[in-house]
Structure 1
Amino acid sequence: MKKVAKYLLSPFLKRFDNIHYGINENKSGIDNLLMSVKNMQDFFVTEKEKEQLALSHITDELVILKEQIETLKLTNKSLDTISSGVLELLESPVKGEDAERIFSLLNIISKKNSYNKIKPHVLFLIHNMNTWYSVANLFLELSQDPDLKVTIASIPRSFPGVEGYSGEEITSAALSKIGINHIRISSYSDKEISTILTTLSPDVIFRQSPWDHDIPPGFSANRINFAKLCYVPYYAVNIVKNISSGTDFDFQSNQDLHNNSWRIYCDTQYAYEKLCKNSLLRGVNARYFGHPKLDYIHTKMKETGDSEKKSGITNILWAPHHSVDQGWLSFGTFDKNYLDFLRYAEENNNVHIKLRPHPALFDFMRAKSDEIKSNVDYFLSKWASLNNTSMDYDYDYVASFDWSDILVTDGISFIVEYPLFHKPSIFIENDNHAEFNELGILAAKCNHIANDFASVLFFLDKFNDGSLEDKNNEIAELESIVLPNKGMVHQIIANDIKSNI
């Protein structure tokens, strides 16, 4: 308990030290400290009525601490005795569920303290540049505000099929490439992460996804909730009723990040209503203004306009998902058709196919068996040897949207995002995928739905001869739902943060 409690009280103790060193110059700091301890005492007394046994010791210690500060005001003596009183408080023998409850209370206290704050500090934790567009414009908007301090940090990750944590250097390089000044947190040690975050002492922390297992435990929702947590969904729109067929648990509304967040900026009105219904907090921390990523894509589409199709060449963007197993989303079809795509590229020089895999796809496939690993490596070797094929690992997939003439994908986000570019897309539908919600049904209708590779070829042929049916009506309906504040979503979210922080 001592380690965690010190971590949670660190902003308080740091400010305590500041008062100690500047006592002769700023005696008002003592009054502020006294008021804070009194507020802490009142808070704990209220909680004491709920959990008498668990909180009796800490309440008594706060009384002693208050009396010591009163004495200090009269004698102007050293604050060492008060510091030792705080340390005794941290040594209190509280265990089990009582300890977890007190940790939660200490989190609340740390959020209420505001000593010597010059400006609020907002920290963005970035582990996956492929979802950068969800927060990019919001980060830039907040960074331009002179009344805020905004920091961005690259951190390690662990995707399915990979042991341990890595990839921080890739994220850092991508941020540097686009001119984003950032700090690097390459460690996955709980102790070192705790030290760094305590030193940074952010008031607000943005995380990119609700999946705690994708990042080191030191960044988990329950470890960083000393700050006000914010979350913008990394995906464009939630289009399924439930991610997993093996449980009724709502992964999009009720994970630890959702229930520890100060603000969740929902992707659609539909998602907002689901979160209000299913989350532990019943949506009191949720807001809906639109999705910054979709807003950016729509704006980029208007800026670039319709790119001219190269004479005699069809640029195909192929984007397979990683969920090739049953039970978890199950949209992926790569294991069924990757050799078909290879054969098609080998036999057709009038196409260029750019393969943009889900970041976890190849590692996930390789982890299945030695045989599958060998087959995937063979495919990648052959793919790299062709003149009319390429790979796209860059975070900036919107650039590939602009480059391409048509998309072929098995989901998930791209069947929502790519139609907003007003270009045709082919959705290879896995019959076993997680059931669509009402938005998923609409998104699918914005694409040409194929059930196998033969139907993919059918739609490609119709595209090449100019007879492919347009989906303008369906896309217009989708836009009316997912783009409520065109061009302004990031500004509206930034204003909500600044006015409520």
Structure 2
Amino acid sequence: MLLKRLQRKDKIKVAFFVVHASVWKLDELYRLMEADERFEPIIVIIPYVVFGDEQMRADMDLGYTLFATKGYRVVKTFNEKTNSWLNVKEAIQPDIIFYTNPHELTKPAYYIDHFPDVLSCYVQYSFHITHLHEMQYNQLFHNILWRAFYETDMHLGFAQQYAANRGSNVAVVGYAGTDVFLQSAEHKTDPWKIKNPAVKRIIWAPHHTIDDDKSFLSYSSFLVYADFFLQLADQYADKLQLAFKPHPILRPKLSDPHVWGKKKTDAYYAQWEQGTNTHLFEADYVDLFKTSDALIHDSASFLVEYLYLHKPTLYTLRDERVTDRFNGFGKLAFHVHEHANSEQDIIYFIQHTVLQGNDVKEEERKQFFNRYLIPPYGKSASAHIIDEIKRFVY
């Protein structure tokens, strides 16, 4: 019934529900839809309600600014002037909604079950590497989607094994979030302060899971290395510049008075922003990745995403059992990284791999990329998503 209705329409309204702009992965898909006369895309900034009103409004403002700067059609669901929330059904009347997060982190008015008469689509908000299969494949959300666009045949296999619907709504298309890295190496802007190519550019991207619940994720070694990375910036001031790219949830977690508190957290982030050879990046990271020389991290999705850049990457281990919290695909990606268990290991990576250019994992990364990361069908993931939608609505 829904498909027949869309087949009669000249324009298909597509709403992208965005919780965190910093984990937005659908630039290429939005642009392709914008250029296609059949689609009318719009970004809808929905609230992240976990950490209170102040953080929610800051996240929404950051997202709105980012998308407006890109020239996208964007709307916030919260209206400060009227202190009211947008009724998406009435104001936008979407035909298709692309959800960018499956979890119950927003207001119920923006959950998937509130839109039973709208076709629902989903691209994973990160390249899925965790062991939390039930959470990532078998929520009600995953089972009632019209179309789930997954990364690889291995991820389809996870859905077939764990989802109640056995992955019947899944299409394997590659990962739309990395389409921008498969394009030319050109970038729009150079976000680094020091333009001298002799001064190497390293990104430090810590995850938000600073807790000690090893049954969940607990990837983050941020609390171990927080001061150390600022010391590295001073120690290598004439040779390196460091970019701090934290997970968006790290800041509110640190701001909890039982962790660091807001004052200490804000002061720490300000140090990165104000340093002569340090940077703070809390939003879009595409140009940051493209113009970098290496990545040091304990992230989840970046474990795979940065491999599209064909550059050295170091994973800092929170503990010796971290890989137990990866799925099979994550373990494969982990093994093509260099690994650090200490400050000395990090210094070795900087000196030996980055400064001296001894990229010992280069060939292994290349083999992994060729086997798992090249999108199927000879086209980008975003292009295949559009083809898949058109297959049903034409």
Which residue of 292, 299, 313 maps to 2:199?
Answer: 313
- 1:154-165 to 2 correspondences below 5 Å: 154-158=45-49, 165=56
Give the residue type in structure 1 aligned to 2:32. E
Q: How far apart in 2 are the matches of 1:377 and 1:172? A: 22
For the residue of structure 1 that corresponds to 2:112, the secondary structure is coil
Structure 2: 5+ residue stretches without partners: none
Q: How far apart in 2 are the matches of 1:140 and 1:170? A: 20
**TM-score, L = length of structure 1:** 0.69
The answer to whether 1:153 aligns with 2:44 is yes
- 1:134-153 to 2 correspondences below 5 Å: 134-153=25-44
After TM superposition, the structure 1 stretch with the greater mean CA deviation from structure 2, 250-259 or 364-373, is 364-373
After TM superposition, the structure 1 stretch with the greater mean CA deviation from structure 2, 462-471 or 278-287, is 462-471
Which residue of 436, 439, 455 maps to 2:345?
Answer: 455
Distance apart, 1:292 and its partner CA = 1.3
1:123–1:204 Cα contact (<8 Å) kept? yes
Which residue of 75, 99, 106 maps to 1:207?
Answer: 99
Give the 3 Å change call, closer, same or farther, for CA 317–195 of structure 1 in structure 2. Answer: closer
Give the 3 Å change call, closer, same or farther, for CA 371–296 of structure 1 in structure 2. Answer: closer
Distance apart, 1:326 and its partner CA = 2.5
**1:151-195: CA deviation from partner (whole Å, max 9, x where unpaired):** 33222223558777322222121111011123332259xxx7574
Give the residue type in structure 1 aligned to 2:331. I
2:45–2:75 Cα contact (<8 Å) kept? yes
- 1:78-477 to 2 correspondences below 5 Å: 117-132=9-24, 134-158=25-49, 165-166=56-57, 167-186=59-78, 195-213=87-105, 215-235=106-126, 237-242=127-132, 250-301=134-185, 303=186, 310=196, 312-327=198-213, 328-350=216-238, 351-369=240-258, 371=260, 373-395=262-284, 397-431=285-319, 432-433=321-322, 435-463=325-353, 464-477=355-368
Give the 3 Å change call, closer, same or farther, for CA 110–430 of structure 1 in structure 2. Answer: same
Q: How far apart in 2 are the matches of 1:372 and 1:164? A: 14
For the residue of structure 2 that corresponds to 1:478, the secondary structure is helix
- 1:5-16 to 2 correspondences below 5 Å: none
Percent identity between the two aligned chains? 24
Which structure ranks higher in relative contact order (CA pairs < 8 Å, sequence separation ≥ 6)? 2
Q: CA RMSD, aligned part only?
A: 2.8
Q: How far apart in 2 are the matches of 1:311 and 1:141? A: 33
Give the 3 Å change call, closer, same or farther, for CA 484–470 of structure 1 in structure 2. Answer: same
Give the residue type in structure 2 aligned to 1:399. D
Distance apart, 1:475 and its partner CA = 3.0
**1:308-358: CA deviation from partner (whole Å, max 9, x where unpaired):** x94542211111111111233111111111011112222321221111111
1:165–1:216 Cα contact (<8 Å) kept? no
After TM superposition, the structure 1 stretch with the greater mean CA deviation from structure 2, 434-443 or 323-332, is 434-443
Structure 1: 5+ residue stretches without partners: 1-108, 243-248
The structure whose residues are more often helix, as a share, is 1
2:79–2:86 Cα contact (<8 Å) kept? no
Give the 3 Å change call, closer, same or farther, for CA 387–278 of structure 1 in structure 2. Answer: same
2:289–2:309 Cα contact (<8 Å) kept? yes
1:459–1:468 Cα contact (<8 Å) kept? no
1:265–1:288 Cα contact (<8 Å) kept? yes
For the residue of structure 2 that corresponds to 1:222, the secondary structure is helix
Q: How far apart in 1 are the matches of 2:306 and 2:78? A: 33
Q: How far apart in 1 are the matches of 2:37 and 2:6? A: 19
Give the residue type in structure 2 aligned to 1:323. T
Distance apart, 1:147 and its partner CA = 2.9
2:131–2:325 Cα contact (<8 Å) kept? yes
The structure whose residues are more often strand, as a share, is 2
Give the residue type in structure 1 aligned to 2:288. S
For the residue of structure 1 that corresponds to 2:135, the secondary structure is coil
For the residue of structure 2 that corresponds to 1:183, the secondary structure is strand
Give the residue type in structure 1 aligned to 2:146. W
What is the number of equivalent residue pairs in this alignment? 377
1:212–1:221 Cα contact (<8 Å) kept? no
**1:183-215: CA deviation from partner (whole Å, max 9, x where unpaired):** 332259xxx7574313433221111111122x2
Give the 3 Å change call, closer, same or farther, for CA 161–314 of structure 1 in structure 2. Answer: farther
Distance apart, 1:413 and its partner CA = 1.4
Give the residue type in structure 2 aligned to 1:388. N
Distance apart, 1:112 and its partner CA = 6.9
1:206–1:231 Cα contact (<8 Å) kept? yes
Give the residue type in structure 1 aligned to 2:125. Y
For the residue of structure 1 that corresponds to 2:181, the secondary structure is helix
Q: How far apart in 2 are the matches of 1:409 and 1:216? A: 31
**TM-score, L = length of structure 2:** 0.86
Distance apart, 1:300 and its partner CA = 4.1
Q: How far apart in 1 are the matches of 2:362 and 2:135? A: 31
